[in-house]
Amino acid sequence: MELSVINFEVKESVAIIKMNNFPVNALTPEFLKDFEKIIKKIANTKEIRAALLASDCPGFFSAGDDLNTLKDIDDDLIALLPKVHTAMNAFENLEIPTIAAINGHALGGGLELALTCDFRFMGDDCGRIGLPEVRLGMIPAFGGTQRLPQVVGKTKAIEMMFKGLQITSEQACQIGLVNEVFSQEDLFNKSFDHARRLALQATKAIAMIKKCVHEGLHQGFEKGLEMERKAFKTNIYSNDAKEGVDAFLSGRKPEFKGN
């Protein structure tokens, strides 16, 4: 798989995706092309059972848009938005647990990208996180207006976006925007260990949980319950469900295969 601004490897069933678009990991068309390839690779590789999104750019997870491209807006640039939304949605809906290891500033599109992950971990004192587009007279356009309220609630999301707040890792943890804060030195290893342990779980069940949660959030409570009933009917006959029950009754540790 040929990539230009993202480094990719699989280790212990975890897909490690390291953004490498120096200096700030701008979400350029080149990034989008690489990201689409990686999503397709993960979706079509059964051996991959978790994904870790990180950065190789010191001080930055991602600063979002390349502001130089915004000087001359044209229809071609605007036409990229549906492709960005499609890629973000596809990553969010991957049938495996996903984790963002935020090692620096995650602003604008950078935070919007992190919001597609199931877990967000951040290094302490490593930078700021937020959607500051309003300070440029603009709005978040990579899904932030929809995903941020789902994560932190409408009131806090409105405050962050209206004021263009850029908050610290500790403040982000307090409002539930990130799950946990680690030392900068431990961030990647702790995040990888979390991904590795999730990869050993019943990932088929995890996929169904994700689908039910997303259905309820996007289509409403009753649709979510309907999806839950369908998912349970399918899941209860899965090999992992049989293994889980048998292991519990036998007093042993289950060995899940993700099917």
Is the per-residue pLDDT at 92 higher than 90? yes
Of 50-54, 97-101, 255-259, the range with the lowest mean pLDDT is 255-259
Structure tokens at 103: 């090692």
Write the CA distances from 206 to 12, 15, 69, 77, 139, integer angstroms: 18, 17, 39, 36, 33
Catalytic residues: 112, 133
Mean pLDDT of 134-148: 96
Question: For residue range 197-235, what is the model confidence (pLDDT) as tens digits?
Answer: 999 999 999 999 999 999 999 999 999 999 999 999 999
Is the per-residue pLDDT at 65 higher than 80? no
pLDDT of residue 69: 63
Phi (first) and psi of residue 51, to 5 degrees: -135, 140
pLDDT of residue 167: 98
Q: What is the overall mean pLDDT for the chain?
A: 95
Residue 247: which residues within 8 A CB-CB, separation 6 or more?
253, 254, 255
In the chain, pLDDT over 90 holds for what percent of residues? Answer: 93
pLDDT of residue 71: 65
* Rama region for 59: left / alpha / beta (φ>0; ψ in -120 to 50; rest): left
* C-alpha angle 148-217-233 in degrees, rounded to nearest 5: 140
Contact status, residue 197 vs residue 49, Cβ threshold 8 Å: no
Is the per-residue pLDDT at 66 higher than 80? no
- The DSSP result for 121-161, as a single string, is EEETTS--EE--GGGGT----SSHHHHHHHHH-HHHHHHHH
pLDDT of residue 56: 97
Is the per-residue pLDDT at 68 higher than 90? no
Taking the domains of the chain in order of start, what are their residue ranges?
A: 6-199, 203-250
Alpha carbons 192 and 120: distance in angstroms, whole number: 12
Is the per-residue pLDDT at 70 higher than 70? no
Of 72-81, 110-119, 123-132, the range with the lowest mean pLDDT is 72-81
CATH class of 6-199: alpha beta
Mean pLDDT of 175-187: 98
